[in-house]
Structure 1
Amino acid sequence: MTSLTAVEAALRSLFPPEVAVAAERTRAPDIAALWPEERQAIDGAVPHRLAEFAAGRTAARRVLAALGHAPVALPMGPDRAALWPGGVSGAIAHDADLAVAVGRRGAPLGVDLEPDAPLEETLWPIICAPDELGLLRGDPARLVRRVFCAKEAVFKAQDPAHRALFGFEAVAVTLVEGGFNAQFRADVGCFRVGQVLTGRLTVVGSTVLAGVAW
C-alpha cells in the first residue's frame, strides 16, 4: 500500500509551491469529524460514501490549516462540489482507498484520482471523441482512464461564481509527457471555446493523479 507521504509528495509535484495538499486514507466513516452542515449533505448515505466524504473533508481542513485558515465547515454546493471559504480555492477527490484535497489563496485549481487500471472499452467513446482516441499511443484502456482523470480535474478547476455542469465532449484532452493539454470545444461556465488549460499527471503506486492550476 502506497504511503500517504508518497501520495502527498506526488500531489505537490502537480502544483505550484503555494498550493497546499493533503491525503487521507478512506476507512470506516468518522462521522464525528464532520460538521453539522456537512452531515446534512450525506444524510442516509451508504457507509462507503460516508467514509469517502469524511476523509475528503478531513483532508480539506488540513489544507486550510496549512494555508493559515481556521477550520470551517465545507458544505456541499448544488453541483456536489465542496464550498470553500472566501478567498480560498480548493478541490477534493476520492475513491475507495484515498481522499485528497488541494487548495490555495488564488485562482481556481482542480484535482482528481483514479486507479491505474484498464477502463472497459464500452466507456471509451463516452469519455473521448474519435480524434482524442486517435491521438492515444500505447495502452488505450489505461490511457482513456488518464484522459478521464484529466477531464475530471479540469471540471473541478472552475471559478465558484461561474460554475457550470458540462460533459466530456466539451473539452478535448491531449496527453503529453508528464501531463496534458485540455482545449475547450464550447463556451461553458468561465471557460471559452478554444481556451487551453495545461495540467499535470503522475502515477503513485496504483493511483493516477491529475492536477490543474490556472
Structure 2
Amino acid sequence: MIDRIVSAPLVTAEAFADHDSAFVPSAERAAVARAVPTRQREFFTVRHLARRAMVQLGVPGGDRMPILKGERGAPTWPEGVIGSMTHCTGYRSAVVGLLSDVRSVGIDAEPHSALPSGVLPSVSIAAERDWLASAAREHGPDVHFDKLLFCAKETTYKAWFPITRRWLGFEDAHITFSVDDTGRSGGFTSTILIDGTVVSGAPLTELRGQWLVDGDLVVASIVVPHE
C-alpha cells in the first residue's frame, strides 16, 4: 500500500499484522519493557520492517541496527540514512532512504474513519475547515477528509522535524488537497506558516505529498528532495 505513494530511491516495507521477529535489539526491548504487550508488538514489528528496508537499501549492519526514540520521539537512524515509520490498527509501515538522495521523508497511516467529535478544531485552521465542508459536498461521504487532513498534518511534521529540529503545531501548516478522478487518492501541499529556517540548506516553506485511501486505511507521504 505505502509503495503506491512512495517510490525509488526510497525503500518501503509494510505488514498488516504483528509478527514475531527472530531478532530484537536489547535496547529496543528495554525501551518498551514497561509497555503493554500490544504496544511492544507494534513497536518491534515496525522496527523489524525498517531493518528489512535498510537491508534492501544496502545499509551495512542494517539487519541488526536498533532504532530508538530520539528528540521529540523521532526515530534515530544510522548516519547517512533517513526514514519514517507509522503504525495504526491493522497496519505497520516503514520507509528508508539515503540522505544523499533525499532531504527527508514522512509517512503516516490512520484508520479511515471520521475524527472523534470535537477534535477537528484543535488540529486544523479555519481555511482547512472551509475546504472540508466543500469537499464533503463535492466528493460525497466515501472519504473521511477530516481524517485525511489529520494524517497529512502528522506526515508534515514527520518530514519537517528531521530538517529543522523544531516543533510544528497543527496550526503551523496550511494543508491543501487535490483529488484524483478515483476520489480516493491525490496530492497535497503543506504551506508552512512559521519560520522555515533549517539546520542546513534551503528554508522549508512548502512540502508536497501524496495520499491514498484503501479499504479501512488512509495513508500519506511526503518526500523532501534536495534543492
CA deviation after TM superposition for structure 1 residue 189, in Å: 6.6
Matches within 5 A, 1:48-63: 48-63=38-53
Which amino acid counterpart does residue 116 of structure 1 have in structure 2?
A: H
Structure 2 partner of 1:67? 57
Secondary structure of 1:208's aligned partner: strand
161, 175, 178: which one pairs with 2:177?
A: 175
Secondary structure of 1:79's aligned partner: helix
Please give the alpha-carbon distance, in whole angstroms, between the structure 2 residues aligned to 1:19 and 1:201.
Answer: 17
Structure 2 partner of 1:96? 89
Please give the alpha-carbon distance, in whole angstroms, between the structure 1 residues aligned to 2:213 and 2:142.
Answer: 16
CA deviation after TM superposition for structure 1 residue 98, in Å: 1.2
Residues 194/101 of structure 1: CA separation in 2 closer, same or farther (3 Å cut): closer
Once structures 1 and 2 are overlaid, which stretch shifts more, 90-99 or 131-140? 131-140
Structure 2 partner of 1:37? 27
Structure 2 partner of 1:4? none
CA deviation after TM superposition for structure 1 residue 159, in Å: 5.7
Please give the alpha-carbon distance, in whole angstroms, between the structure 2 residues aligned to 1:161 and 1:168.
Answer: 18
Contact 1:121 1:141 in 2 (8 A): no
Residues 78/31 of structure 1: CA separation in 2 closer, same or farther (3 Å cut): farther
TM-score (norm 1): 0.86
1:47 aligns with 2:43: no
Which amino acid counterpart does residue 187 of structure 2 have in structure 1?
A: G
Please give the alpha-carbon distance, in whole angstroms, between the structure 2 residues aligned to 1:48 and 1:190.
Answer: 36
CA deviation after TM superposition for structure 1 residue 164, in Å: 2.0
Q: Deviations over 1:95-129 (max 9, x none)?
A: 12111000111321000001111112301101111
Structure 1 partner of 2:115? 119
Secondary structure of 2:118's aligned partner: helix
CA deviation after TM superposition for structure 1 residue 130, in Å: 1.2
TM-score (norm 2): 0.82
Secondary structure of 1:122's aligned partner: coil
Which amino acid counterpart does residue 198 of structure 1 have in structure 2?
A: R
Which amino acid counterpart does residue 122 of structure 1 have in structure 2?
A: G
CA deviation after TM superposition for structure 1 residue 166, in Å: 2.4
CA deviation after TM superposition for structure 1 residue 88, in Å: 0.9
Residues 161/195 of structure 1: CA separation in 2 closer, same or farther (3 Å cut): closer
1:130 aligns with 2:107: no
Please give the alpha-carbon distance, in whole angstroms, between the structure 1 residues aligned to 2:197 and 2:96.
Answer: 21
Q: Deviations over 1:47-73 (max 9, x none)?
A: 121111011101101110110112211
1:184 aligns with 2:184: no
Contact 1:185 1:193 in 2 (8 A): no
User: Unpaired runs of 5+ in structure 1?
Assistant: 1-6
Structure 1 partner of 2:9? 18
Secondary structure of 1:152's aligned partner: helix
CA deviation after TM superposition for structure 1 residue 193, in Å: 8.4
Contact 1:24 1:58 in 2 (8 A): no
Report sequence identity in percent: 29
Please give the alpha-carbon distance, in whole angstroms, between the structure 1 residues aligned to 2:203 and 2:76.
Answer: 26
Please give the alpha-carbon distance, in whole angstroms, between the structure 2 residues aligned to 1:111 and 1:160.
Answer: 13
- Greater Rg over alpha carbons, structure: 2
95, 109, 121: which one pairs with 2:105?
A: 109
